[in-house]
Amino acid sequence: AGCYGKDLGGQFPPGFKFGAGTSSYQVEGAWNVSDKGVNILDKFVHDHPTSIKDLSNGDVACDSYHNWERDVEMAAELGLDYYRFSLSWSRILPTGFPNKISKDGVKYYNKLINGLQAKGIEAMVTIYHWDLPLPLQELGGWTNPLIADWFEDYARVVYTQFGDRVKLWLTVNEPISFCDGSYNTGVGAPGVLSPDVGAYICNKHVLLAHAKAWRLYDKEFRPKFNGRVSLANNLLWIEPYSEEYTDLAELALQNSAGRYSHPIFSEAGGWPPGVEEVIAKVCLEKGYPRSTFPSFSKEEIELVKGTYDYYGMNHYTSRLIREAHPDEKLLPWPYGDAPDLKAKMTVSDKWPATVVPWFYVNPKGIRKQLAWLKQQYGDLEIMITENGFPTYHGLNDTARIDYYKKNLKQILLSINKDGVNVTHYTAWSLMDNFEWADGYTTKFGLYEVDFNDPKRTRTPRESAIYYASVIKNRSLDIPSNTTKPKQKQK
């Protein structure tokens, strides 16, 4: 019997896989090494140092460009089945275009992929995790319709270079974050404020870019490499504040999860129900002559529909939604409020706060979110591509262990009780890293990174030892002695 009781049903199904994730800008450093091109994150942090809490940046970060062997070793220590990381577009294509492929850039990822392979660890590769080459941004970035072709060209390069060994691909990470999140606030790269317009154009172009990259793989690479491709959506679980707001909560889910999923995963394709109408109405109220929400042509609907091999889901936290009071101050969508729905997003006082303001703990949310996906899009395979918990520094991270334990428990209930086909779980993150506007002040790592040490020494937290034991036992019912840290603390 484990220390959490006998009958918890803590076993994961055979074949269930565990991983951990990072992204290029957040860990690699080496921002100007060799012929690497400049991307929008490099430019943003250098131009706006004060927009990062500790005035830091990702110039060096975890220096994974040089420390990749240690990263592989950590993945092996944890017993990961796979490691999720992202490719830096500008490191591989210094101009953003395939006219020039960087030998050093490709070499770096080959070393990493081969290093993982040598330890029997698969690579789950994100093609784009927010670091757009600057030359593409100067042409409008995600608001230029040609981005779909530029992205497809880049995808062809990486499938060609790495597809023999990489079998799990994610085209883009959290488009709601780099479309809605970025254009509605102007905060973070590329630093363009374009409420009502930018986010929606970006939304449409991301779907087309994803679809082209998926179709390219399907046609030219799947026959020889037999891998699988999807995208990672951040799903913020939204519940009604009280029963009268049930429809509002559903509309908010369609406006978040739906706008980035329905066109791809639903049988009908196209924009999700209700959203186009609401936005059109709001646009007229705001004085636009017509809706700023782009429509899809029939051909585009067909192009995008069905371009998935599984669903990639990032999930962290939940919200409650209610109608806003008149004159109530509303923050921008999606991580503030929902001004276009004239709604306020709050949280339950039963959900513990964390060290980051957007994050309250509601483990039941992940199970409800998974059930919603199944109900919306049918019985598809779902991989959790991110889930994790923030703390300040320190190796004794009991709150993180508690978060993982409770979320994994809910995922087991989802699999066993709700019949949802969840097959992969990715802890975010393998190690502390550049946490965007928080800089290095808040930490998501299973491994702590010493950012004052030029070597960027990594040390396992208690949560790393816990996660390793879950993976080893393929169960949450872990004999109590294996949850104690074995490693010496420094």
Among 236, 249, 321, 464, binds ligand PNW (CB under 6 A): 236
CB 320 within 8 A of CB 347: yes
Angle at 279 between CA 324 and CA 145, to 5 degrees: 135
Q: Shortest distance, CB of residue 67 to ligand PNW, whole angstroms?
A: 18
Verify binding: residue 174, ligand PNW, rule CB under 6 A: yes
| CA 297 to chain centroid | 28
Among 28, 309, 386, 448, binds ligand PNW (CB under 6 A): 386
Segment holding 292, helix H or strand E: none
Among 241, 260, 335, 440, binds ligand PNW (CB under 6 A): 335
Q: Which residue has the tokens 């006998």?
A: 6
Spell out the residues 6+ positions from residue 251 whose beta carbon is closer than 8 angstroms to its own.
274, 275, 278, 341
Verify binding: residue 234, ligand PNW, rule CB under 6 A: yes
Backbone angles phi, psi at 108, to 5 degrees: -60, -50
| Interface mask toward ligand PNW for 303-322; x: CB under 6 A | -----------x-xx-----
Could you tell me the sign of the dihedral formed by the alpha carbons of 271, 385, 478, 364, in that order? negative
CB 280 within 8 A of CB 340: no
- The one catalytic residue among 174, 239, 300, 435: 174
Segment holding 118, helix H or strand E: helix 103-118
Contacts (CB under 6 A) with ligand PNW, residues 9-48: 23, 26
> Is there a catalytic annotation at residue 386?
yes
The beta-carbon contacts of 43-52 under 8 Å, at least 24 apart in sequence, are 43/134, 43/137, 43/189, 43/190, 44/188, 44/189, 44/190, 44/191, 47/191, 48/191, 51/187, 51/188, 51/437, 52/436, 52/437, 52/438, 52/439
Q: Shortest distance, CB of residue 130 to ligand PNW, whole angstroms?
A: 7
Q: Total residues at the site for ligand PNW (CB under 6 A)?
A: 16
Contacts (CB under 6 A) with ligand PNW, residues 448-477: none
Among 90, 173, 254, 292, binds ligand PNW (CB under 6 A): 173
Verify binding: residue 354, ligand PNW, rule CB under 6 A: no
Pick the closer one to ligand PNW by CB: 314 or 369: 314
Q: Shortest distance, CB of residue 13 to ligand PNW, whole angstroms?
A: 26
Give the tokens for residue 426.
Answer: 């990715």
Q: Shortest distance, CB of residue 277 to ligand PNW, whole angstroms?
A: 26
Pick the closer one to ligand PNW by CB: 200 or 316: 316
Could you give the CA distance from residue 92 to residue 95 in angstroms, rounded to a whole number?
9
Contacts (CB under 6 A) with ligand PNW, residues 241-280: none
Could you give the CA distance from residue 83 to residue 113 in angstroms, rounded to a whole number?
9
Q: Shortest distance, CB of residue 103 to ligand PNW, whole angstroms?
A: 28
Pick the closer one to ligand PNW by CB: 208 or 236: 236
Q: Shortest distance, CB of residue 385 to ligand PNW, whole angstroms?
A: 9
What single-letter amino acid sits at 314? N
Residue 133's closest CA among 209, 46, 37? 37
Q: Shortest distance, CB of residue 58 to ligand PNW, whole angstroms?
A: 11
Concatenate the DSSP letters of all residues of 9-34 into one string: --BPPTT-EEEEE--HHHH---TTST
Verify binding: residue 137, ligand PNW, rule CB under 6 A: no
Strand order in the sheet with 237-240: 237-240, 318-323, 343-346
Contacts (CB under 6 A) with ligand PNW, residues 176-195: 177
Verify binding: residue 239, ligand PNW, rule CB under 6 A: no
- The one catalytic residue among 386, 435, 448, 462: 386
> Is there a catalytic annotation at residue 328?
no
| Interface mask toward ligand PNW for 404-443; x: CB under 6 A | ------------------------x------x--------
Helix (H, G, I), strand (E, B) or coil at 411: helix
Among 4, 16, 97, 358, binds ligand PNW (CB under 6 A): 358
Pick the closer one to ligand PNW by CB: 62 or 283: 62
Could you give the CA distance from residue 36 to residue 126 in angstroms, rounded to a whole number?
18
CB 441 within 8 A of CB 394: no
Catalytic residues: 174, 386
* Sites of contact with ligand PNW (CB under 6 A): 23, 26, 173-174, 177, 234, 236, 314, 316-317, 335, 358, 386, 428, 435, 444
